[in-house]
Amino acid sequence: MMPNLHEIIYILNYVILIYVFLLMTTYLILAFSSYKKLKEYYRYIEFHDEEKIFELRNHVPISIIAPAYNEGTGIVDSVKSLLQLEYPEFQIIVVNDGSTDDTLVRLIHYFNLSQIFFNSELKIETKEVITAYASAEYKNLIVINKRNGGKADALNAGVNIAKHPLIATVDADSILERDCLLKIVTPFIEDEDVVAVGGTIRIANGCKIRSGHVESVNLPKPWLVKFQVLEYIRAFIFGRSGFDTINSLLIISGAFSCFKKESVFEVGGFKAGSIGEDMEITIRLHRELRKENPKTRIAFIPDPVCWTEAPESIKVLKSQRIRWQKGTIESLLSHKKLLFNPKYKLLGLLGYPYFFFFEMLGPVVEFAGYVLIILSFLFNWVSSYFAIVFFILLVLYGIIISTFSVLLEELTHSKYPKLSHLIQLFFIAIIENFGYRQMTVFWRFWATVEYVIGKRSWGKMKKKGLSNEDE
Protein backbone atom coordinates (compact mmCIF):
# COMPACT_ATOMS: atom_id res chain seq x y z
CA MET A 1 0.00 0.00 0.00
CA MET A 2 1.44 3.37 -1.07
CA PRO A 3 1.89 5.97 1.70
CA ASN A 4 -0.29 9.07 1.39
CA LEU A 5 0.98 12.64 1.26
CA HIS A 6 0.64 13.10 5.01
CA GLU A 7 2.78 10.03 5.70
CA ILE A 8 5.41 11.08 3.15
CA ILE A 9 5.69 14.55 4.71
CA TYR A 10 5.89 12.95 8.15
CA ILE A 11 8.77 10.68 7.06
CA LEU A 12 10.62 13.54 5.33
CA ASN A 13 10.41 15.66 8.44
CA TYR A 14 12.07 12.97 10.52
CA VAL A 15 14.71 12.33 7.85
CA ILE A 16 15.60 16.03 7.92
CA LEU A 17 15.59 16.03 11.72
CA ILE A 18 18.07 13.14 11.78
CA TYR A 19 20.18 14.86 9.13
CA VAL A 20 20.39 18.07 11.17
CA PHE A 21 21.24 16.08 14.29
CA LEU A 22 24.09 14.28 12.49
CA LEU A 23 25.37 17.55 11.02
CA MET A 24 25.46 19.39 14.31
CA THR A 25 26.98 16.42 16.13
CA THR A 26 29.72 16.36 13.50
CA TYR A 27 30.30 20.07 14.16
CA LEU A 28 30.72 19.38 17.86
CA ILE A 29 33.22 16.58 17.20
CA LEU A 30 35.17 18.91 14.91
CA ALA A 31 35.09 21.62 17.56
CA PHE A 32 36.60 19.42 20.26
CA SER A 33 39.16 17.96 17.82
CA SER A 34 40.15 21.50 16.90
CA TYR A 35 40.47 22.51 20.53
CA LYS A 36 42.89 19.65 21.13
CA LYS A 37 44.93 20.48 18.03
CA LEU A 38 45.03 24.21 18.75
CA LYS A 39 46.07 23.59 22.33
CA GLU A 40 48.94 21.37 21.16
CA TYR A 41 49.93 23.84 18.46
CA TYR A 42 50.12 26.86 20.76
CA ARG A 43 52.00 24.84 23.36
CA TYR A 44 54.46 23.99 20.58
CA ILE A 45 54.98 27.55 19.31
CA GLU A 46 55.38 28.84 22.85
CA PHE A 47 58.88 27.36 22.72
CA HIS A 48 59.36 27.80 19.01
CA ASP A 49 61.03 30.71 17.26
CA GLU A 50 60.46 30.71 13.50
CA GLU A 51 63.51 32.84 12.83
CA LYS A 52 65.79 30.32 14.54
CA ILE A 53 64.74 27.69 12.01
CA PHE A 54 66.68 29.60 9.40
CA GLU A 55 69.77 29.73 11.59
CA LEU A 56 69.79 25.92 11.84
CA ARG A 57 68.51 24.92 8.41
CA ASN A 58 68.50 26.33 4.92
CA HIS A 59 65.48 28.51 4.33
CA VAL A 60 63.20 27.79 1.38
CA PRO A 61 62.71 30.78 -0.96
CA ILE A 62 59.11 31.65 -1.82
CA SER A 63 57.44 33.25 -4.84
CA ILE A 64 54.24 35.14 -3.94
CA ILE A 65 51.62 35.31 -6.68
CA ALA A 66 48.92 37.98 -6.44
CA PRO A 67 46.36 37.87 -9.28
CA ALA A 68 44.64 41.21 -9.77
CA TYR A 69 41.53 42.11 -11.75
CA ASN A 70 40.20 45.66 -11.36
CA GLU A 71 41.92 46.12 -7.99
CA GLY A 72 42.89 49.75 -8.57
CA THR A 73 41.43 50.95 -5.25
CA GLY A 74 43.70 48.81 -3.12
CA ILE A 75 46.45 47.31 -5.24
CA VAL A 76 49.21 49.69 -4.10
CA ASP A 77 48.54 49.07 -0.41
CA SER A 78 48.42 45.32 -0.99
CA VAL A 79 51.78 45.29 -2.75
CA LYS A 80 53.27 47.57 -0.06
CA SER A 81 52.07 45.05 2.50
CA LEU A 82 53.77 42.19 0.63
CA LEU A 83 57.04 44.11 0.37
CA GLN A 84 57.11 44.48 4.17
CA LEU A 85 56.97 40.73 4.85
CA GLU A 86 59.67 39.29 7.09
CA TYR A 87 61.43 36.50 5.20
CA PRO A 88 65.01 35.88 4.03
CA GLU A 89 64.24 35.53 0.32
CA PHE A 90 60.99 36.01 -1.57
CA GLN A 91 59.72 37.16 -4.94
CA ILE A 92 56.46 39.04 -5.58
CA ILE A 93 54.60 38.43 -8.83
CA VAL A 94 51.54 40.61 -9.44
CA VAL A 95 49.46 39.31 -12.34
CA ASN A 96 47.25 41.95 -13.93
CA ASP A 97 44.55 39.76 -15.47
CA GLY A 98 43.29 42.10 -18.15
CA SER A 99 41.96 44.74 -15.76
CA THR A 100 39.71 47.39 -17.29
CA ASP A 101 40.41 49.94 -14.56
CA ASP A 102 43.68 51.68 -13.58
CA THR A 103 45.25 48.72 -11.73
CA LEU A 104 48.27 48.51 -14.05
CA VAL A 105 48.72 52.28 -14.30
CA ARG A 106 48.80 52.62 -10.51
CA LEU A 107 51.38 49.86 -10.21
CA ILE A 108 53.62 51.34 -12.91
CA HIS A 109 53.41 54.82 -11.44
CA TYR A 110 53.85 54.06 -7.73
CA PHE A 111 56.57 51.41 -8.01
CA ASN A 112 58.37 53.04 -10.95
CA LEU A 113 58.07 49.96 -13.17
CA SER A 114 59.93 49.47 -16.44
CA GLN A 115 59.13 46.94 -19.14
CA ILE A 116 61.41 43.89 -19.27
CA PHE A 117 61.91 40.91 -21.59
CA PHE A 118 59.52 38.05 -20.90
CA ASN A 119 60.43 34.40 -21.51
CA SER A 120 57.46 32.76 -23.25
CA GLU A 121 58.56 29.14 -22.62
CA LEU A 122 55.77 28.00 -20.31
CA LYS A 123 54.88 24.73 -18.56
CA ILE A 124 51.19 25.57 -18.14
CA GLU A 125 49.19 27.04 -21.01
CA THR A 126 47.56 30.39 -20.21
CA LYS A 127 46.05 33.38 -21.94
CA GLU A 128 48.61 35.56 -23.69
CA VAL A 129 51.05 37.47 -21.50
CA ILE A 130 51.39 40.87 -23.16
CA THR A 131 54.13 42.58 -21.16
CA ALA A 132 56.19 42.18 -18.02
CA TYR A 133 57.56 44.87 -15.72
CA ALA A 134 60.21 45.15 -13.01
CA SER A 135 61.06 47.81 -10.46
CA ALA A 136 64.53 49.31 -10.10
CA GLU A 137 63.75 50.14 -6.47
CA TYR A 138 62.14 46.85 -5.42
CA LYS A 139 64.29 44.11 -6.91
CA ASN A 140 61.97 41.28 -5.88
CA LEU A 141 58.84 42.77 -7.52
CA ILE A 142 57.60 41.67 -10.95
CA VAL A 143 54.32 42.67 -12.61
CA ILE A 144 52.98 40.81 -15.62
CA ASN A 145 50.15 42.07 -17.81
CA LYS A 146 48.04 39.42 -19.56
CA ARG A 147 44.76 39.01 -21.33
CA ASN A 148 41.84 38.22 -19.05
CA GLY A 149 41.46 34.53 -18.33
CA GLY A 150 40.12 34.37 -14.78
CA LYS A 151 41.81 33.89 -11.45
CA ALA A 152 43.04 30.32 -12.08
CA ASP A 153 44.59 31.36 -15.39
CA ALA A 154 46.28 34.33 -13.72
CA LEU A 155 47.68 32.07 -11.00
CA ASN A 156 49.07 29.70 -13.65
CA ALA A 157 50.75 32.61 -15.40
CA GLY A 158 52.43 33.47 -12.12
CA VAL A 159 53.44 29.86 -11.45
CA ASN A 160 55.08 29.71 -14.89
CA ILE A 161 57.55 32.48 -14.10
CA ALA A 162 57.98 31.83 -10.36
CA LYS A 163 61.65 31.18 -9.70
CA HIS A 164 61.39 29.68 -6.20
CA PRO A 165 60.40 26.14 -5.07
CA LEU A 166 57.48 27.35 -2.93
CA ILE A 167 54.64 29.50 -4.24
CA ALA A 168 52.24 31.45 -2.05
CA THR A 169 48.96 32.61 -3.55
CA VAL A 170 47.47 35.83 -2.18
CA ASP A 171 44.36 37.76 -3.17
CA ALA A 172 45.26 41.22 -4.37
CA ASP A 173 42.76 42.79 -1.97
CA SER A 174 44.32 41.12 1.07
CA ILE A 175 46.95 42.12 3.61
CA LEU A 176 49.32 39.62 5.23
CA GLU A 177 50.71 39.95 8.71
CA ARG A 178 54.46 40.47 8.47
CA ASP A 179 55.50 37.09 9.90
CA CYS A 180 53.12 35.07 7.71
CA LEU A 181 55.78 33.52 5.49
CA LEU A 182 57.95 32.55 8.44
CA LYS A 183 55.02 30.62 9.87
CA ILE A 184 53.45 29.09 6.80
CA VAL A 185 56.77 27.65 5.58
CA THR A 186 57.35 25.68 8.80
CA PRO A 187 55.28 22.58 7.87
CA PHE A 188 57.25 22.23 4.61
CA ILE A 189 60.54 22.30 6.51
CA GLU A 190 59.42 19.84 9.18
CA ASP A 191 57.59 17.32 6.95
CA GLU A 192 58.74 16.52 3.42
CA ASP A 193 55.33 14.96 2.63
CA VAL A 194 53.56 18.33 2.97
CA VAL A 195 52.66 19.72 -0.47
CA ALA A 196 50.38 22.61 0.53
CA VAL A 197 49.59 24.70 3.61
CA GLY A 198 46.73 27.06 4.36
CA GLY A 199 46.57 29.86 6.88
CA THR A 200 43.80 31.78 8.62
CA ILE A 201 41.74 34.45 6.87
CA ARG A 202 40.27 37.33 8.86
CA ILE A 203 38.07 40.28 7.93
CA ALA A 204 39.86 43.62 7.74
CA ASN A 205 36.78 45.86 7.58
CA GLY A 206 36.87 48.12 10.63
CA CYS A 207 40.57 47.62 11.30
CA LYS A 208 43.04 50.51 11.25
CA ILE A 209 45.32 50.05 8.24
CA ARG A 210 48.29 52.21 7.36
CA SER A 211 50.82 51.67 4.54
CA GLY A 212 49.71 48.10 3.95
CA HIS A 213 49.90 47.11 7.61
CA VAL A 214 47.13 46.35 10.12
CA GLU A 215 47.91 48.65 13.06
CA SER A 216 44.92 47.80 15.24
CA VAL A 217 42.09 45.29 15.08
CA ASN A 218 38.48 46.34 15.51
CA LEU A 219 35.11 44.86 14.69
CA PRO A 220 33.44 46.44 11.66
CA LYS A 221 30.48 48.75 12.24
CA PRO A 222 27.96 47.23 9.77
CA TRP A 223 26.14 44.29 11.32
CA LEU A 224 26.20 42.47 8.01
CA VAL A 225 30.00 42.36 8.21
CA LYS A 226 29.99 41.43 11.90
CA PHE A 227 28.05 38.30 11.01
CA GLN A 228 30.79 37.45 8.52
CA VAL A 229 33.49 37.94 11.15
CA LEU A 230 31.87 35.20 13.21
CA GLU A 231 31.54 32.97 10.15
CA TYR A 232 35.25 33.26 9.39
CA ILE A 233 36.18 32.52 13.00
CA ARG A 234 33.94 29.45 12.97
CA ALA A 235 35.24 28.17 9.63
CA PHE A 236 38.94 28.53 10.38
CA ILE A 237 39.15 28.00 14.13
CA PHE A 238 37.45 24.64 14.33
CA GLY A 239 36.46 23.66 10.78
CA ARG A 240 39.83 23.48 9.12
CA SER A 241 41.75 22.70 12.27
CA GLY A 242 39.49 19.69 12.80
CA PHE A 243 39.90 18.27 9.31
CA ASP A 244 43.66 18.84 9.46
CA THR A 245 43.83 16.28 12.29
CA ILE A 246 42.74 13.53 9.86
CA ASN A 247 44.56 14.91 6.78
CA SER A 248 41.25 15.60 5.07
CA LEU A 249 41.39 19.30 4.25
CA LEU A 250 39.50 19.78 1.01
CA ILE A 251 40.06 23.52 0.81
CA ILE A 252 42.81 25.93 1.75
CA SER A 253 41.74 29.47 1.05
CA GLY A 254 42.88 31.11 -2.14
CA ALA A 255 43.22 34.36 -0.21
CA PHE A 256 46.39 32.95 1.36
CA SER A 257 47.92 29.53 0.83
CA CYS A 258 51.30 28.03 -0.02
CA PHE A 259 52.25 25.15 -2.36
CA LYS A 260 55.28 23.24 -3.54
CA LYS A 261 55.70 24.52 -7.08
CA GLU A 262 56.62 21.12 -8.50
CA SER A 263 53.45 19.61 -7.00
CA VAL A 264 51.37 22.25 -8.75
CA PHE A 265 53.13 21.47 -12.04
CA GLU A 266 52.64 17.75 -11.44
CA VAL A 267 48.84 18.08 -11.30
CA GLY A 268 48.69 20.48 -14.26
CA GLY A 269 48.27 23.77 -12.42
CA PHE A 270 45.08 25.49 -11.36
CA LYS A 271 42.00 24.52 -13.36
CA ALA A 272 41.31 27.34 -15.81
CA GLY A 273 37.73 28.55 -15.74
CA SER A 274 37.06 26.94 -12.38
CA ILE A 275 34.58 28.72 -10.13
CA GLY A 276 36.38 27.61 -6.97
CA GLU A 277 39.98 27.12 -8.05
CA ASP A 278 41.30 26.96 -4.46
CA MET A 279 39.10 24.03 -3.45
CA GLU A 280 39.50 22.26 -6.79
CA ILE A 281 43.30 22.18 -6.72
CA THR A 282 43.31 21.13 -3.06
CA ILE A 283 41.16 18.09 -3.83
CA ARG A 284 43.16 17.32 -6.99
CA LEU A 285 46.45 17.41 -5.07
CA HIS A 286 45.01 14.86 -2.65
CA ARG A 287 43.60 12.71 -5.44
CA GLU A 288 46.63 12.66 -7.72
CA LEU A 289 49.61 12.82 -5.39
CA ARG A 290 48.36 10.33 -2.80
CA LYS A 291 48.32 7.66 -5.52
CA GLU A 292 52.12 7.73 -5.55
CA ASN A 293 52.69 8.80 -1.96
CA PRO A 294 49.89 7.92 0.50
CA LYS A 295 51.61 10.08 3.11
CA THR A 296 51.04 13.23 1.04
CA ARG A 297 49.67 15.89 3.36
CA ILE A 298 47.88 19.22 3.00
CA ALA A 299 48.13 21.13 6.26
CA PHE A 300 46.48 24.03 8.05
CA ILE A 301 48.16 26.19 10.66
CA PRO A 302 46.09 28.76 12.54
CA ASP A 303 48.37 31.71 13.15
CA PRO A 304 49.61 33.01 9.78
CA VAL A 305 46.84 35.57 9.38
CA CYS A 306 45.68 37.17 6.16
CA TRP A 307 43.27 40.09 6.37
CA THR A 308 40.75 40.49 3.56
CA GLU A 309 37.91 42.79 2.63
CA ALA A 310 34.39 41.45 3.20
CA PRO A 311 31.22 42.52 1.38
CA GLU A 312 29.31 45.35 3.03
CA SER A 313 26.13 45.09 0.96
CA ILE A 314 23.61 42.28 0.70
CA LYS A 315 23.90 42.30 -3.09
CA VAL A 316 27.64 41.68 -3.07
CA LEU A 317 27.45 39.17 -0.23
CA LYS A 318 24.80 37.24 -2.15
CA SER A 319 27.06 37.14 -5.20
CA GLN A 320 29.96 35.87 -3.08
CA ARG A 321 27.96 33.09 -1.44
CA ILE A 322 26.50 31.97 -4.75
CA ARG A 323 30.03 31.70 -6.14
CA TRP A 324 31.25 29.77 -3.11
CA GLN A 325 28.40 27.28 -3.33
CA LYS A 326 28.79 26.77 -7.07
CA GLY A 327 32.53 26.35 -6.60
CA THR A 328 31.93 23.72 -3.91
CA ILE A 329 29.55 21.77 -6.15
CA GLU A 330 31.87 21.96 -9.14
CA SER A 331 34.94 20.89 -7.17
CA LEU A 332 33.25 17.98 -5.39
CA LEU A 333 31.50 16.60 -8.47
CA SER A 334 34.76 16.81 -10.45
CA HIS A 335 36.34 14.42 -7.94
CA LYS A 336 33.36 12.27 -6.93
CA LYS A 337 35.48 9.11 -7.21
CA LEU A 338 36.82 9.98 -3.77
CA LEU A 339 33.41 9.33 -2.18
CA PHE A 340 33.74 6.39 0.24
CA ASN A 341 36.95 5.36 -1.54
CA PRO A 342 39.03 3.36 1.01
CA LYS A 343 42.21 3.95 -1.02
CA TYR A 344 42.23 7.49 0.36
CA LYS A 345 41.66 6.34 3.95
CA LEU A 346 39.94 8.93 6.16
CA LEU A 347 39.81 11.44 3.32
CA GLY A 348 37.62 9.10 1.27
CA LEU A 349 35.66 7.66 4.18
CA LEU A 350 35.06 10.79 6.29
CA GLY A 351 36.43 14.04 4.85
CA TYR A 352 34.98 13.92 1.35
CA PRO A 353 31.61 12.44 2.45
CA TYR A 354 31.24 15.25 5.00
CA PHE A 355 31.74 17.93 2.36
CA PHE A 356 29.54 16.08 -0.13
CA PHE A 357 26.55 15.46 2.13
CA PHE A 358 26.78 18.38 4.55
CA GLU A 359 28.53 21.26 2.76
CA MET A 360 27.25 20.66 -0.78
CA LEU A 361 23.78 19.24 -0.02
CA GLY A 362 23.32 20.93 3.35
CA PRO A 363 21.65 24.12 2.02
CA VAL A 364 19.13 22.05 0.05
CA VAL A 365 18.23 19.90 3.03
CA GLU A 366 18.08 22.81 5.47
CA PHE A 367 15.94 24.92 3.14
CA ALA A 368 13.63 21.95 2.53
CA GLY A 369 13.46 21.50 6.29
CA TYR A 370 12.28 25.06 6.85
CA VAL A 371 9.61 24.70 4.16
CA LEU A 372 8.39 21.32 5.39
CA ILE A 373 8.26 22.35 9.02
CA ILE A 374 6.30 25.51 8.21
CA LEU A 375 3.83 23.63 6.00
CA SER A 376 3.56 20.75 8.42
CA PHE A 377 2.92 23.09 11.32
CA LEU A 378 0.32 25.11 9.40
CA PHE A 379 -1.57 22.04 8.21
CA ASN A 380 -1.06 20.08 11.43
CA TRP A 381 1.01 17.38 9.71
CA VAL A 382 3.36 17.11 12.69
CA SER A 383 3.00 17.81 16.39
CA SER A 384 4.17 21.04 17.97
CA TYR A 385 6.65 18.89 19.93
CA PHE A 386 8.38 17.88 16.68
CA ALA A 387 8.57 21.50 15.49
CA ILE A 388 10.08 22.56 18.82
CA VAL A 389 12.69 19.78 18.70
CA PHE A 390 13.63 20.74 15.15
CA PHE A 391 13.96 24.39 16.16
CA ILE A 392 16.14 23.53 19.14
CA LEU A 393 18.46 21.33 17.07
CA LEU A 394 18.83 23.90 14.35
CA VAL A 395 19.15 27.03 16.46
CA LEU A 396 20.58 25.86 19.76
CA TYR A 397 23.29 23.77 18.12
CA GLY A 398 24.16 26.75 15.93
CA ILE A 399 24.49 28.97 18.98
CA ILE A 400 26.64 26.39 20.80
CA ILE A 401 29.00 25.96 17.85
CA SER A 402 29.40 29.70 17.29
CA THR A 403 29.90 30.39 21.01
CA PHE A 404 32.50 27.63 21.24
CA SER A 405 34.29 29.15 18.23
CA VAL A 406 34.46 32.56 19.92
CA LEU A 407 35.86 30.93 23.06
CA LEU A 408 38.52 29.13 21.02
CA GLU A 409 39.36 32.43 19.34
CA GLU A 410 39.88 34.08 22.70
CA LEU A 411 41.94 31.17 24.07
CA THR A 412 44.20 30.97 21.02
CA HIS A 413 44.46 33.95 18.65
CA SER A 414 42.82 36.59 20.83
CA LYS A 415 42.72 38.97 17.86
CA TYR A 416 39.77 40.84 19.35
CA PRO A 417 41.13 41.82 22.78
CA LYS A 418 38.48 44.27 23.94
CA LEU A 419 35.69 43.04 26.19
CA SER A 420 33.19 44.89 24.01
CA HIS A 421 34.38 42.84 21.02
CA LEU A 422 33.75 39.55 22.80
CA ILE A 423 30.34 40.67 24.04
CA GLN A 424 29.34 41.59 20.49
CA LEU A 425 30.62 38.27 19.10
CA PHE A 426 28.71 36.27 21.71
CA PHE A 427 25.59 38.30 20.92
CA ILE A 428 26.06 37.70 17.19
CA ALA A 429 26.43 33.96 17.89
CA ILE A 430 22.81 34.07 19.07
CA ILE A 431 21.08 36.47 16.70
CA GLU A 432 22.67 35.16 13.47
CA ASN A 433 20.33 32.17 13.77
CA PHE A 434 17.28 34.39 13.38
CA GLY A 435 17.36 35.71 9.83
CA TYR A 436 20.98 35.95 8.68
CA ARG A 437 21.52 32.21 8.61
CA GLN A 438 18.26 31.56 6.76
CA MET A 439 19.17 34.24 4.21
CA THR A 440 22.55 32.66 3.39
CA VAL A 441 21.01 29.18 3.32
CA PHE A 442 18.49 30.36 0.73
CA TRP A 443 21.27 31.89 -1.42
CA ARG A 444 23.21 28.65 -1.33
CA PHE A 445 20.07 26.66 -2.11
CA TRP A 446 19.35 28.92 -5.06
CA ALA A 447 22.97 28.63 -6.23
CA THR A 448 22.52 24.85 -6.25
CA VAL A 449 19.37 25.17 -8.35
CA GLU A 450 21.17 27.46 -10.79
CA TYR A 451 24.12 25.07 -11.03
CA VAL A 452 21.83 22.14 -11.79
CA ILE A 453 20.07 24.03 -14.59
CA GLY A 454 23.41 25.10 -16.04
CA LYS A 455 23.74 28.71 -14.89
CA ARG A 456 27.32 28.98 -13.64
CA SER A 457 27.87 32.76 -13.48
CA TRP A 458 27.78 34.65 -10.16
CA GLY A 459 28.37 38.37 -10.76
CA LYS A 460 31.21 40.58 -9.50
CA MET A 461 32.27 41.94 -6.12
CA LYS A 462 32.76 45.68 -5.89
CA LYS A 463 35.47 46.70 -3.45
CA LYS A 464 36.27 50.00 -1.84
CA GLY A 465 39.81 49.16 -0.64
CA LEU A 466 41.25 48.58 2.80
CA SER A 467 43.41 51.63 3.36
CA ASN A 468 42.47 54.13 6.07
CA GLU A 469 45.13 56.66 5.02
CA ASP A 470 42.64 59.50 4.72
CA GLU A 471 40.58 58.72 7.83
Q: Is residue 38 part of a domain?
A: no
Q: Verify that 255 and 368 share a domain, yes or no.
A: no
Q: Is residue 308 part of a domain?
A: yes
Q: Verify that 275 and 222 share a domain, yes or no.
A: yes
Max alpha carbon distance in the chain (Å)? 82
Rounded Cα–Cα distance for residues 20 and 15 (Å): 9
Distances (CA, A) of 122 to 32, 42, 125, 168, 306: 46, 41, 7, 19, 30
Q: Is residue 256 part of a domain?
A: yes
Q: Where are the alpha helices (DSSP H) in 133-276?
A: 151-161, 180-184, 186-190, 223-234, 241-244, 261-266
pLDDT class of 458 with cuts at 50, 70, 90: low
Please check the confidence at residue 234 and state whether its pLDDT lies above 60. Answer: yes
Rounded Cα–Cα distance for residues 278 and 463 (Å): 21
Q: Where are the beta strands (DSSP E) in 268-313?
A: 297-308
Q: In which domain, by residue range, is 153 found?
A: 47-349
Q: Verify that 298 and 442 share a domain, yes or no.
A: no
Q: Verify that 369 and 447 share a domain, yes or no.
A: yes
User: Interior CA angle at 195 toward 327 and 239, to 5°?
Assistant: 50
List pLDDT tens digits, range 113-128. Answer: 999 987 766 889 999 9
What's the pTM?
A: 0.90
**Closest of 294, 236, 300, 272 to residue 159, by C-alpha:** 272
Q: Is residue 468 part of a domain?
A: no
Q: Please tell me which residue, 365 or 303, carries the higher pLDDT value.
A: 365
Mean pLDDT, the chain, whole residue set: 87
Q: Verify that 253 and 144 share a domain, yes or no.
A: yes
Q: Is residue 42 part of a domain?
A: no
Rounded Cα–Cα distance for residues 327 and 275 (Å): 5
* Dihedral angle, C-alpha 318, 320, 323, 327, nearest 10 °: -130
Q: Is residue 465 part of a domain?
A: no
Rounded Cα–Cα distance for residues 355 and 357 (Å): 6
List pLDDT tens digits, range 182-192. Answer: 889 989 988 99
The pLDDT value recorded for residue 120 is 62
Distances (CA, A) of 307 to 81, 256, 323, 364: 11, 9, 20, 31
The pLDDT value recorded for residue 447 is 96
Terminal-residue alpha carbon distance, the chain = 72
The pLDDT value recorded for residue 459 is 59
The pLDDT value recorded for residue 168 is 97
Rounded Cα–Cα distance for residues 440 and 230 (Å): 14
Q: Is residue 418 part of a domain?
A: yes
Q: Verify that 235 and 94 share a domain, yes or no.
A: yes
CATH of the domain at 298: 3.90.550.10
Please check the confidence at residue 166 and state whether its pLDDT lies above 90. Answer: yes
Please give the tally of structural domains in the chain.
2
DSSP string, 218-238: ---SSHHHHHHHHHHHHIIII
Q: Where are the beta strands (DSSP E) in 314-385?
A: none
Q: Verify that 177 and 262 share a domain, yes or no.
A: yes
Q: Verify that 345 and 368 share a domain, yes or no.
A: no
Q: Verify that 199 and 277 share a domain, yes or no.
A: yes
- Point out the domain boundary residue: 331, 349, 367: 349
Q: Which residue type sits at 295?
A: K
Q: Verify that 112 and 247 share a domain, yes or no.
A: yes
Q: Verify that 418 and 293 share a domain, yes or no.
A: no
pLDDT class of 397 with cuts at 50, 70, 90: confident
